Amino acid sequence: MTENKRFERIYADVDVFCRDHNAKGVSQLIEREDYDRIVDLLNELSDENKHYKSIFFELVETALTDKSCRELYCKGILDIFNKANSLNQAREMIKEHLE
């Protein structure tokens, strides 16, 4: 059974042309022998994104379920509200942490 990849070449006999907006006209920037390698690289990047996405969800789950993470988060929020003079100021302080 073959693994389905996100990207594949569909026209093996067609040249790939790219437009360079800094140059006049259209030119072939990719050599024919590089086509398969480029498709392989796109698939590697797609797989890498899946890997990082799974790590992100694992971190979020830990943050939501781990007691020490929850306590640290709550202490940070309480600290912001203790320093703020109003809800609007607290909201702005939280936004600053997100930037």
For the chain, give every domain's residue range: 1-65, 66-99
Among 34, 52, 44, 48, residue whose Cα is nearest residue 7: 44
Q: Mean pLDDT over residues 7-33, rounded?
A: 65
More confident residue, 35 or 27: 35
- Average pLDDT of the chain to the nearest whole number: 77
Q: How far is residue 15 CA from its own chain's centroid?
A: 30
Assess whether pLDDT exceeds 80 at residue 2. Answer: no
> pTM (2 decimals)?
0.41
Question: pLDDT tens-digit profile of 63-98?
Answer: 778 888 878 878 888 888 899 888 888 888 888 877
As given in the structure block, the two tokens for residue 40 are 């392989």
| pLDDT for 26 | 59
